[in-house]
Amino acid sequence: MDKVLVFDLWGDYAHFKKHYTTTSPLSFPFPPRTTIAGIVSAIIGLDKEEYLEHFDRNFAWISLKLLAPIKKIRLGQNLINTKGLEYRLIKKKNHEPRTPIRIEYIKDPQYRIYFYHSDQENIYRPLKEHLEKHQSVYTVSLGLSELLANFNLRGEYPLHKTFPSNLIEIDSVIPSEEISGRIEFEEGKEYFSTSIPIEMRKGRVVTKYGNVSYERNGQRILCRPDSCYEAGNGERIIFL
């Protein structure tokens, strides 16, 4: 791997549902690796029932940088309650036709995606061509179909792997498994950690989770990773 595609992704709202929340859905602060795989698949037109088999960590390398502060809001929504209604919105005794819930959204999300795939012919080059033309086969969204997303190719850059011996600044979010050293907590920065899906197989069954550290406002994190990659645009990243 000696190159990487870099593209920006943004929208008005995003919702990347945490699997353990139901009645009041909460959102991950950024798209997990599995969600980014789905976004790439939508752009190049992979079947939604089969795309996951193409994004094993042995074939696909994905990283993410925050371009805007994480702002979470909760909005009330009415969901249609179809239980016992036989597909008709007819109010029956002790049965309300709608269920009010509060859903957590990310407001004004902006992300930078770094992507490489070993399948040049069927995935990497088609993605590059679609990004260059600002085209997608399927509509690109940020977690939910109604949360439409825009995207823009930043470029294709050379990539160089390094093994830092001292503290360095990392632009991307940081998987905890890649840090055997320490994170240097700096004044004025807001640090968080979250567990996100890393790998998923057919049937949308998550097979691997990972803890990821990030700075809420998208600032660089000073740390000593086991290894990292330096891209030709001057940014240092670690793949999820």
Domains of the chain, start order: 3-237 (3.30.70.2660)
Instruction: Dump pLDDT digits (tens) for 54-73.
Output: 898 899 999 999 999 999 99
Beta strands in the chain (DSSP E): 3-11, 13-14, 60-66, 71-80, 98-107, 110-117, 149-162, 168-170, 174-175, 183-184, 191-201, 205-215, 221-223, 228-231, 236-237
- In angstroms, the CA 239 to CA 178 distance is 9
Place 18 in a pLDDT band, splitting at 50, 70 and 90: confident
- Output phi, psi for 39, to 5 deg: -65, -45
Mean pLDDT within 3-27: 89
The secondary structure element, H or E, covering residue 39 is helix 33-44
Q: Let me know: does 36 contact 55? Beta carbons within 8 Å.
A: no
Question: Among the listed ranges 60-64, 82-86, 123-127, 172-176, which one has the minimum average pLDDT value?
Answer: 82-86
**pTM of the predicted structure, to 2 decimals:** 0.89
Q: pLDDT class for 204, splitting at 50, 70, 90?
A: confident
Predicted confidence at residue 182, as pLDDT, reads 80
Contact 213, 192 (CB under 8 A): yes
pLDDT score of 42: 96
What would the mean pLDDT of 7-20 be, rounded to a whole number?
Answer: 92
Q: In this predicted structure, what is the pLDDT of residue 91?
A: 54
**200 or 121, which is more confident:** 121
pLDDT in tens, 105-115: 999 999 999 99
The residue-averaged pLDDT of 22-43 equals 91
Q: Poorest-confidence range of 71-85, 176-190, 199-213, 221-235?
A: 71-85
pLDDT of residue 192: 95
